[in-house]
């Protein structure tokens, strides 16, 4: 059993009571809500005659259903309009802050909470969305929850939880140029499997992790859930504190030193015990692309689609399904696979450094004929910062569309979607069948720089040669 890890410390700090069924009642420090999973929870609260226990600890935004071309109200889709109107009514009735369209703070829930400084080390964070694990980048314990748990958090600011095991994922070395946090996490999931983390929290540590920017750490933790882990986190350090300093909802000057002092006590110390540990070497990782229908079906861009013989027997049935669905041949190189649509965005890779990395590739080049390529910033703040640097102009002159913020084609609950059997190069997080809005649509997950490279070539290519040729790509900054 783990002891002395950040997970153990945060768990102990937030324990409220032991429950009759054997689980623990855990206080939730930050509750994030959006238009898709909250309406039924508010309705259930009303049915039970309960109030919101801590409206000041819940923060709302709208992201999943917003159109990214025109965000004028009412939306063309009446159901999308009804969902946003319901969120607005619930927030005003219960006194919950809503960062709405045009507020300057709207965006994908997992992008805006960090950039506003809401997400902080040592917190428990919950949101009715799988990718809540993103917030673990700050040394918070953050997990996605279902609708009835959203109701529970609204009613009681707490959740019934069972304690997880803690696995340390230690990464030595440094990521090579052209290899990003997205490649690292796809590599980890490829190695440990999409169910490998079930019942676990993943602690990401080691020299390669310490060297990551906050935005890269968010990409990494975002996809911990795709590896089956309930949450993933990075111990807070000087990089974390520097990111938070001066953000609107971060501790102010008066409390800052005390906050840093407390945050510094949270990291897993040398005495920490883990349930187990897995080691990786960052230097050996290549740009990684998925070829199949789960995020675990990934390979280096210089590799070939695995043949059944190369796979464990229990992976073969799913691989067979993936070959058929993706129409990819076992043993064929993944490089050269033609794509139709290129999507840069999502809570995984829709932040400023992601757009910078993609723009560095697109700069002075042109999207291949017949390719639909578009960039959806993760938030209004990301959009404004990118526009201030002229990234929108770089993308536009290269032939990319520059859109307004939202989840967009990550899950295609808005009008952005694949059609028919189209295949996308996508910087999002899920390549499940039908995920991007067409029942037969296909998805190749990769880093934003790799998506940009695919858009230029019209097919999957290794981005690394393009970077050497480019002027000087700005590396991930935050």
Provide the binding-site residues for other proteins, judged by CB under 8 A: 13-17, 19-21, 25, 27, 29, 39-40, 43-44, 47-48, 50, 53-54, 79, 82-83, 86, 120, 122-123, 146-148, 151-152, 155-160, 251, 255, 258-259, 261-262, 413
Both tokens assigned to 77: 């889709």
State the nearest-atom distance from the C-beta of 117 to ligand SF4, in Å: 19
Distances (CA, A) of 317 to 187, 322, 331, 442: 21, 9, 16, 18
CA 172 to chain CA centroid, Å, is 23
State the nearest-atom distance from the C-beta of 11 to ligand SF4, in Å: 25
Q: Which of 30, 91, 407, 453 binds ligand SF4 (CB under 6 A)?
A: 407
Report 432-451 residues binding ligand SF4 (CB under 6 A): none
State the nearest-atom distance from the C-beta of 376 to other proteins, in Å: 20
Residue 454 in contact with residue 446, Cβ under 8 Å? yes
- Comparing CA positions, the residue from 353, 383, 344, 443 lying closest to residue 71 is 383
State the nearest-atom distance from the C-beta of 2 to other proteins, in Å: 21
Report the residue number, 146 or 207, with the smaller CB distance to other proteins.
Answer: 146
- Comparing CA positions, the residue from 3, 239, 26, 227 lying closest to residue 142 is 26
446 binds, among ligand SF4, other proteins, none (CB under 5 to 8 A by kind): none
Report the residue number, 122 or 298, with the smaller CB distance to ligand SF4.
Answer: 298
HSE, CB side, 13 Å, CA atoms: give it for residue 37: 20
- Return the H-helix or E-strand segment holding 201: strand 200-205
Residue 149 in contact with residue 273, Cβ under 8 Å? no
State the nearest-atom distance from the C-beta of 301 to other proteins, in Å: 33
Report the residue number, 109 or 457, with the smaller CB distance to ligand SF4.
Answer: 109
148 binds, among other proteins, ligand SF4, none (CB under 5 to 8 A by kind): other proteins
* Length in residues, the chain: 478
* Helix/strand/coil for 167: strand
Both tokens assigned to 279: 């080691």
Task: Confirm or reject binding of residue 226 to ligand SF4 (CB under 6 A).
Answer: no
Stretch that binds ligand SF4, among 168-176, 192-200, 363-371, 406-414 (CB under 6 A): 406-414
Q: CA–CA separation, 295 vs 245, rounded Å?
A: 34
State the nearest-atom distance from the C-beta of 116 to ligand SF4, in Å: 16
**CB neighbours of residue 183 within 10 Å:** 27
Both tokens assigned to 428: 């999002």
Report the residue number, 110 or 365, with the smaller CB distance to ligand SF4.
Answer: 110
Ordered strands of the 276-281 beta sheet: 231-234, 200-205, 165-172, 276-281
Report 343-382 residues binding ligand SF4 (CB under 6 A): 346-347
Report 120-179 residues binding ligand SF4 (CB under 6 A): 129, 131
397 binds, among ligand SF4, other proteins, none (CB under 5 to 8 A by kind): none
Task: Confirm or reject binding of residue 410 to ligand SF4 (CB under 6 A).
Answer: yes
Report the residue number, 107 or 122, with the smaller CB distance to ligand SF4.
Answer: 107
State the nearest-atom distance from the C-beta of 71 to ligand SF4, in Å: 16
Report the residue number, 14 or 167, with the smaller CB distance to other proteins.
Answer: 14
Both tokens assigned to 246: 């001066």
Ordered strands of the 442-445 beta sheet: 401-402, 372-375, 341-344, 423-426, 442-445
State the nearest-atom distance from the C-beta of 63 to ligand SF4, in Å: 6
Task: Confirm or reject binding of residue 63 to ligand SF4 (CB under 6 A).
Answer: yes
* Helix/strand/coil for 410: helix
State the nearest-atom distance from the C-beta of 114 to ligand SF4, in Å: 13
- Output the 3-class SS for 376-391: CCCEHHHHHHHHHCCH
Report the residue number, 98 or 282, with the smaller CB distance to ligand SF4.
Answer: 98
Strand partners, 426: 343, 445
Residue numbers at the binding site for ligand SF4 (CB under 6 A): 63-64, 108, 110, 129, 131, 346-347, 407, 410-411, 428-429
């Amino acid at each position: 059993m783990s002891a002395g890890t950040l997970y153990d410390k945060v768990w102990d700090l937030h324990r409220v009571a032991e429950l009759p069924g054997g689980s623990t009642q855990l206080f939730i420090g930050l509750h994030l809500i959006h238009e898709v999973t909250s309406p039924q929870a508010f309705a259930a609260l009303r049915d039970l005659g309960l109030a919101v226990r801590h409206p000041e600890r819940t923060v709302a935004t709208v992201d999943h259903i917003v159109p990214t071309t025109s965000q004028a109200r009412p939306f063309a889709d009446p159901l999308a309009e009804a969902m946003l109107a319901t969120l607005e009514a619930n927030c005003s009735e219960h006194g919950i802050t809503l960062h709405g369209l045009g507020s300057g703070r709207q965006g994908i829930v997992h992008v805006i909470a960090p950039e506003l400084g809401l997400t902080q080390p040592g917190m428990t964070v919950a949101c009715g969305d799988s990718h809540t694990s993103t917030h673990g980048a700050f040394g918070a314990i953050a997990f996605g929850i279902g609708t009835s748990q959203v109701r529970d958090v609204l009613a009681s600011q707490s959740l019934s939880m069972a304690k997880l095991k803690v696995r340390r994922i230690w990464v030595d070395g440094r990521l090579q140029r052209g290899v990003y946090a997205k490649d690292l996490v796809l590599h980890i999931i490829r190695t440990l499997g999409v169910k490998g983390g079930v019942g676990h929290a993943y602690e990401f540590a080691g020299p390669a992790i310490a060297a990551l920017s906050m935005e890269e750490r968010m990409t990494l933790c975002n996809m911990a859930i795709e590896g089956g882990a309930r949450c993933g986190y990075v111990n807070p350090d000087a990089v974390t504190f520097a990111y938070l300093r001066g953000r609107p909802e971060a501790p102010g000057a008066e409390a800052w030193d005390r906050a840093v002092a407390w945050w510094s006590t949270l990291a897993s110390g040398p005495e920490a015990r883990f349930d187990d540990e897995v080691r990786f070497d960052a230097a050996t990782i290549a740009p990684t692309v998925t070829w199949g229908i789960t995020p675990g079906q990934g390979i280096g861009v210089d590799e070939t689609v695995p043949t059944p013989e190369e796979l464990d027997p229990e992976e073969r049935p799913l691989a067979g399904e993936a070959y058929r669905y993706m129409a990819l041949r076992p043993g064929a190189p993944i490089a050269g696979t033609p794509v139709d649509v290129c999507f840069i965005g999502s809570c995984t890779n829709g932040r400023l450094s992601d757009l910078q990395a993609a723009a560095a590739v697109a700069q002075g080049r042109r999207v291949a004929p017949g390719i639909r390529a578009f960039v959806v910033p993760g938030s209004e703040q990301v959009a404004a910062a990118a526009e201030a640097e002229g990234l929108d102009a770089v993308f536009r002159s290269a032939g990319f569309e520059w859109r307004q913020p939202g989840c967009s084609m990550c899950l295609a609950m808005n009008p952005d979607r694949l059609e028919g059997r189209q295949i996308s190069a996508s910087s999002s997080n899920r390549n499940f069948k039908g995920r991007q809005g067409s029942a037969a649509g296909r998805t190749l997950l990769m880093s934003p720089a790799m998506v940009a490279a695919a858009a230029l070539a019209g097919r999957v290519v290794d981005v690394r040669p393009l970077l050497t040729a480019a002027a000087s790509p700005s590396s991930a900054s935050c």
